[in-house]
């Protein structure tokens, strides 16, 4: 008999977690509490409740976390302009600390002594979830079925589901193993099937959110984004909540074929993995945020942020959102955003986001009187540059003389 009495399962209602639910009941003989997070994946969540009820689950949590997700996780990350390995906008990574946080809260509310997730032993998500669990509840017990059972493929999961009467969408049965997908308000990801060969082009019908750039409108669309303290608060003059902002950016970006990515990334567990991502809203947001920073941030502050960004992005990718170093970096980053106020105009056209204007009435450091190519009326003394250049060249001149000898 297991010493675990009650476990909170991060439950999507899909194949993996539906099998896990039954497996937990059979293997641990414990009560299971299901937790389904609505973070904007765009799916009907009530079927998850029905599936859970079918297996006798009494405590079922389905929580709308969309606003918290964007406000407290996505927006803080974008204040840092975080990009992993030069391309990935961290759509899956940034959702895991929120899910872990709510899971631990539910464990406390229900008196559960364990939590469980559906992440595989080959991936990053097991690390992200569990680092979050332990950071928030050091003594919690963690059950990771993929590291314990012998159901090592999707085909075996399907067979298990059929044996135990677990309902599975017919499209999965008919088409074999589906793509492994993860969606939220920031992105949707795809892994598996033909993507396991990095030489093969993704199938066009795989993409869910974006049209191909070739099929995008022939007419460009202009969009104004208004920023306050580094966050977008309005689109085309209409104030929106954080979740509404990202949803609308996704809609507009998707229409114009923006935000597709085909990437081979380095997983934290050591292997290389090929995945495809759609992040239309995030792609627009990153471009616009850097544009407003270009006129409101001091040069050295901006460069310091760029120096720190890869470290910050890596912390999120590898699951250290709740670590003291990420929190310390966030404090610095948020302090730089106090002056990041104003608007940016972008042009959306066939997969591209082009910045075509930016201004800040209160915080712009751009001074046309100094930077002009016309007569600046003495605002900038060009003769001063000679001494500036000589002093900056001094160390190189000394080294050149030494090497010449």
Q: Are 323 and 329 in contact (CB under 8 A)?
A: no
* Alpha carbon distances (Å) from 232 to 6, 267, 281, 313: 41, 31, 12, 20
**Annotated catalytic residue: which of 66, 79, 93, 125?**
125
Residue 190, judged by CB atoms within 10 A of its CB (0-12, 13-18, 19+), counts as buried
Give catalytic status of residue 273 as yes or no: no
Residues in the chain: 405
Give catalytic status of residue 231 as yes or no: no
Question: What does the alpha-carbon distance between residue 5 and residue 111 come to, in Å, rounded to a whole number?
Answer: 9
Question: What does the alpha-carbon distance between residue 31 and residue 19 come to, in Å, rounded to a whole number?
Answer: 15
Q: What is the pairing mode between strands 238-239 and 231-235?
A: antiparallel
- The owner of tokens 């760029």 is 306
**Annotated catalytic residue: which of 16, 18, 79, 102?**
16
Quickly list H helices, 192-317. Answer: 242-255, 280-296, 299-317
* Alpha carbon distances (Å) from 175 to 40, 152, 278, 368: 26, 19, 22, 61
Give catalytic status of residue 96 as yes or no: yes
**Annotated catalytic residue: which of 12, 18, 116, 180?**
180
Structural tokens at position 362: 């209160």
- The owner of tokens 């539906």 is 18
Give catalytic status of residue 125 as yes or no: yes
- The owner of tokens 């964007």 is 70
**Annotated catalytic residue: which of 12, 18, 79, 96?**
96
Which residues are catalytic, by number? 16, 96, 125, 180
């Amino acid at each position: 008999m297991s010493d675990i009495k009650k476990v909170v399962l991060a439950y999507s209602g899909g194949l993996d977690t539906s099998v896990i639910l039954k497996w937990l009941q059979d293997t641990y003989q414990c009560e299971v509490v299901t937790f389904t997070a609505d973070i904007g994946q765009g799916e009907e969540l009530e079927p998850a409740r029905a599936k859970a009820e079918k297996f006798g689950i009494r405590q079922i949590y389905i929580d709308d976390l969309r606003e918290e997700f964007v406000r407290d996780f996505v927006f803080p990350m974008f204040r840092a302009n975080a990009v992993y390995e030069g391309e990935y906008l961290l759509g899956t990574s940034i959702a895991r600390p929120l899910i872990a946080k709510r899971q631990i809260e539910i464990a406390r509310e229900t008196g559960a002594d364990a939590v469980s997730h559906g992440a595989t032993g080959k991936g990053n998500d097991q690390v992200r979830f569990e680092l979050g669990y332990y950071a928030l509840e050091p003594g919690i017990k963690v059950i990771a079925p993929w590291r314990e059972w012998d159901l090592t493929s999707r085909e075996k999961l399907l067979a298990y589901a059929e044996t135990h009467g677990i309902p599975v969408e017919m499209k999965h049965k008919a088409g074999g193993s589906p793509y492994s997908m993860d969606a939220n308000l920031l992105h949707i990801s795809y892994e598996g099937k033909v993507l396991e060969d990095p030489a093969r082009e993704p199938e066009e019908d795989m993409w869910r959110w974006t049209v191909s750039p070739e099929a995008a409108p022939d007419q460009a669309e202009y969009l104004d984004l208004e920023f306050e303290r580094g966050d977008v608060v309005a689109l085309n003059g209409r104030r929106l909540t954080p979740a509404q902002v990202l949803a609308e950016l996704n809609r507009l970006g998707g229409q114009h074929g923006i935000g597709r990515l085909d990437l081979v990334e380095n997983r934290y567990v050591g292997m290389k993995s090929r995945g495809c991502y759609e992040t239309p809203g995030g792609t627009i947001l990153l471009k616009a945020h850097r544009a407003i920073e270009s006129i409101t941030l001091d040069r050295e502050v901006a460069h310091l942020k760029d120096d720190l960004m890869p470290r910050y992005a890596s912390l999120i990718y590898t699951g250290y959102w709740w670590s003291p170093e990420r929190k310390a970096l966030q404090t610095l980053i948020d302090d730089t955003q106090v002056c990041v106020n104003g608007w940016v105009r972008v042009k959306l056209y066939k997969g591209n986001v082009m910045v075509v204007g930016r201004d800040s009435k209160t915080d712009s450091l751009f001074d046309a009187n100094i930077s002009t190519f016309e007569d600046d009326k003495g605002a900038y003394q060009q003769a001063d540059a000679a001494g500036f250049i000589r002093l900056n060249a001094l160390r190189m001149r000394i080294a050149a003389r030494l090497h010449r000898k």
